[in-house]
């Protein structure tokens, strides 16, 4: 992890990461759970993410909601970012929508995504 990265976004999968990453205009690390997460990985993340700004951005479907609950139990200090239920999946959400919700969470995004490009 880069020393300049102080923000971590947890997403479910690589397709979520690929949809979110080009929108962000600051050093942010995006980590994938690949749908599930082991207790060992949670313990490792607890040590690594201590003192960092942590964000949870998962799908608004049954498995995503279940994962969010697990992550909130482990990281109660994390900021939850919710996509509209109209899109259900982070990977399918339009970049404009993602830019809006990321900006609301104080993550710097490229302005062209906010203007509807």
3-class DSSP state of 29: strand
Backbone φ and ψ for 51, nearest 5 degrees, come out as: 75, 10
Domain range list for the chain: 7-114
Q: Find out if CATH 3.40.1360.10 is the number for domain 7-114.
A: yes
Model-level pTM? 0.92
5 neighbors 24 (Cβ within 8 angstroms):
no
Report the alpha-carbon distance of residue 2 to residue 107 in Å, rounded: 17
Q: Which two tokens stand for residue 45?
A: 């993340």
Q: What is the pLDDT of residues 13-62, one digit of tens each?
A: 999 999 999 999 999 999 999 877 888 999 999 888 888 999 999 999 99
Q: What is the pLDDT of residues 74-111, one digit of tens each?
A: 999 999 999 999 999 999 999 999 999 999 999 999 99
* DSSP H/E element including 70: helix 62-74
């Amino acid at each position: 992890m880069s020393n300049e990265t102080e923000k971590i976004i947890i997403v479910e999968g690589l397709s979520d990461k690929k949809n979110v990453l080009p929108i962000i205009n600051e050093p942010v690390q995006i980590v994938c759970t690949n749908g599930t997460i082991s207790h060992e990985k949670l313990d490792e993340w607890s040590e690594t993410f201590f003192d960092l700004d942590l964000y949870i951005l998962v799908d608004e479907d049954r498995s995503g909601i279940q994962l969010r609950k697990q992550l909130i139990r482990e990281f109660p200090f994390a900021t939850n970012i919710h996509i509209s239920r109209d899109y259900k999946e982070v990977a399918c959400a339009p970049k404009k929508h993602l830019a809006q919700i990321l900006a609301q969470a104080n993550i710097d995004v490229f302005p062209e995504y906010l203007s509807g490009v």
